[in-house]
Structure 1
């Protein structure tokens, strides 16, 4: 809490996560708060986890601004390329596993 808040939950990989369950949703406020808390927490990304009314948490939303999402996607691309270069077979197995899960 306070000026140097670091997010509502730890363990959301690479993120400061701001959890919200409110009647009125104000995404811009949530994202601004999450981004400030990511800086405070030393995490590269901030996000808001927004619970839908009358639904379980798993039916909620994870929200980032476009700038943050682009940085996350670029990191994912770069890490995948690095893994593919270092160990193609391992990359292939992981890629196949995630495609099947979708």
Structure 2
């Protein structure tokens, strides 16, 4: 979409995702592009999904800059605190499910 590109894939929750599968990896360029596209896509976060050579997509990396990661973790903390306060039983169930999945 040119200078108003909104990322390479829709549906990556809360993110504009820039997908990359290149021989030479340049994370700083990918993150700068993802952050610009997050603004254009009206998403709070940008990330790069980087495929490893000779590996499947599931073995790739999701990369953000530290500033974006801190904002994401702060949001997660705030939302968990709000859910814990509003619905402690639901919070405990969801927390248990995610801990078991790890």
Does TM, normalized by the shorter one, top 0.5? yes
Separation of aligned partners in 2, 1:56 and 1:3: 30
Separation of aligned partners in 2, 1:2 and 1:101: 39
The alignment status of 1:24 with 2:24, answered yes or no, reads yes
Give the alignment's TM-score, normalised by structure 2: 0.99
Paired position in structure 2 for 1:44: 44
Paired position in structure 2 for 1:86: 86
1:31-70 aligned at under 5 Å gives the runs: 31-70=31-70
SS at match of 2:24: coil
Separation of aligned partners in 1, 2:39 and 2:45: 8
- Structure 1 outlier segments of 4+, above 6 Å: none
Count of aligned residue pairs for this structure pair = 102
Paired position in structure 2 for 1:13: 13
Q: State the Cα RMSD in Å.
A: 0.3
5+ residue gaps, structure 1: none
Distance apart, 1:100 and its partner CA: 0.5
5+ residue gaps, structure 2: none
